[in-house]
């Protein structure tokens, strides 16, 4: 049931994955700009995605997840066009960077519609008790795309330059539209719908937990290749693949954990694992240690996302699930949009390794959110037990 949606996610996010190792190197080597510029260009994608998440969720709830995915894929093609346009003015680095910022922004909007639409599509086809599994498996396809896309993008960049990455960014979404066309969509649920503000009030706490935890993901995708280049470790793509492969393995083996044991409990354990992995990257003196840290980071974050996601979706009505997912994942974009420039500043002032140590502390801070959610659930269960006892008596 979810397999066609996973294929769509795999093809769609391979587009984004290809730019992960290539874009920072292009900005540094071809435009002559440093970590702050890399952070600003990367952050523009997440800022645009943040603004589009609630809109994408409302659209998916009302028109259907499939239609939202189509809108996202068309937008991704436009983003690739801005990438190509930026290469025509490389001699004017500021203009080229501005076009990259616009392109990343359009790609951020595309990402919002694709992932929110795909998750809403999957949730519409599945029963509520499989919420965590849907989030986990659709997300697995996304990170499988990163695992494939990152080395592909690195090879394309080394052999053909950033122009090949830009051209592929346009071609892959067009191919994916052909895959989407014949697949059955999930009809939207006809019911009264809550406002974005109401849904935000329901999901903000697990959203903050997600925001703190995903700074590690932002550190790896934004600055992993720069760290490897700074240390003389070549090639740079293994940090992305190590992260993504461990992420996928955790999802394949443990995707049922959040539904079975509770999202907050699973998130709590995995946040500690993620923090250890980020600390290893920051303190690594060899490439092997850094790759082990990337794998631990991926393994930990893999179940944090569905863990907090189960907590978020359980707080809304079924007719608002796509909006809840959109608002929940907007916290990821909020974190990355704000943290990417901040991490770039940290890298400039204190060194690239400090970026990963900062992210480790952020992941540990998210454990307080998980503990709070667990405590709230216990109080709720105790309250229900007392009410049942009083009714019996």
Q: State yes or no: pLDDT of 277 exceeds 90.
A: yes
Angle at 45 between CA 315 and CA 50, to 5 degrees: 25
Convert the pLDDT of each residue in 41-90 to its tens digit.
Answer: 877 877 787 788 778 888 888 888 889 999 999 999 999 999 999 999 98
The residue-averaged pLDDT of 108-123 equals 85
For the beta carbon of residue 182, count every other beta carbon within 10 angstroms. 7
Q: Apex CA 69: angle with CA 63 and CA 74, to 5°?
A: 115
pLDDT at 386 over 60: no
pLDDT at 261 over 50: yes
How much of the chain exceeds pLDDT 90, in percent? 27
pLDDT band for position 370 (cuts 50, 70, 90): very high
Calculate the average pLDDT of the chain.
Answer: 83
pLDDT for residue 146: 67
Looking at the chain, the whole-number percentage of residues with pLDDT higher than 70 is 90
For residue 392, what pLDDT is reported?
44
Whole-angstrom distance, CA of residue 244 vs CA of residue 128: 27
Set out the domains of the chain in order of their start, with CATH numbers: 3-182+195-392 (1.20.1250.20)
Cα 187 to Cα 64: distance, rounded to the nearest angstrom: 6
* Burial call 1-11: b when 16+ CB within 10 Å, e when fewer: ebeebbebbbb
**pLDDT at residue 246 greater than cutoff 70:** yes
Reply yes or no on whether the pLDDT at 202 is more than 50: yes
- Tens-place pLDDT, residues 7-54: 888 888 887 778 877 888 888 888 888 777 877 887 787 778 778 877
């Amino acid at each position: 049931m979810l397999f066609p949606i996973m294929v769509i996610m795999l093809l769609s996010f391979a587009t984004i994955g290809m730019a992960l190792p290539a874009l920072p190197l292009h900005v540094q080597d071809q435009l002559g700009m440093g970590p702050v510029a890399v952070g600003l260009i990367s952050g523009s994608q997440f800022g645009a995605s943040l603004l589009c998440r609630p809109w994408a969720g409302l659209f998916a709830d009302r028109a259907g997840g499939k239609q939202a995915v189509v809108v996202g894929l068309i937008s991704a093609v436009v983003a690739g066009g801005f990438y190509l346009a930026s290469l025509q003015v490389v001699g004017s680095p500021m203009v080229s960077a501005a076009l990259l910022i616009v392109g990343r922004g359009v790609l951020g909007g595309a990402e919002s519609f694709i992932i929110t639409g795909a998750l809403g599509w999957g949730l519409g086809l599945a029963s509520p008790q499989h919420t965590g599994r849907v989030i986990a498996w659709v997300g697995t396809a996304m990170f499988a795309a990163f695992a494939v896309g990152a080395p592909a993008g690195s090879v394309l960049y080394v052999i053909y330059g950033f122009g090949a990455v830009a051209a592929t960014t346009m071609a892959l979404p067009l191919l994916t539209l052909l895959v989407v066309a014949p697949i059955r969509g999930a009809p939207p649920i006809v019911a009264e719908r809550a406002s974005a503000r109401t849904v935000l009030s329901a999901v903000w706490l697990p959203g903050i937990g997600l925001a703190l935890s995903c700074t590690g993901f932002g550190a790896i995708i934004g600055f992993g290749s720069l760290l490897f280049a700074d240390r003389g470790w070549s090639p740079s793509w293994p940090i992305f693949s190590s992260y993504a492969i461990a992420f996928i393995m955790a999802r394949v083996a443990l995707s049922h954990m959040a539904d079975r044991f509770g999202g907050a409990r699973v998130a709590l354990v995995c946040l500690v694992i993620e923090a250890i992995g980020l600390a290893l990257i920051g303190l690594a003196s060899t490439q092997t240690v850094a790759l082990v840290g990337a794998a631990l980071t991926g393994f930990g974050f893999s179940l944090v996302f569905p863990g907090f996601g189960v907590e978020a979706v359980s707080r809304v009505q079924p007719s608002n699930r796509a909006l809840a997912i959109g608002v929940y994942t907007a916290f990821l974009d909020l974190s990355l949009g704000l943290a990417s420039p901040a991490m770039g500043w940290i890298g400039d002032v204190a060194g690239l390794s400090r970026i990963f140590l900062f992210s480790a502390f952020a992941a540990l801070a998210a454990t307080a959110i998980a503990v709070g959610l667990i405590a709230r659930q216990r109080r709720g269960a105790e309250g229900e037990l007392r009410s049942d006892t009083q009714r019996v008596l």
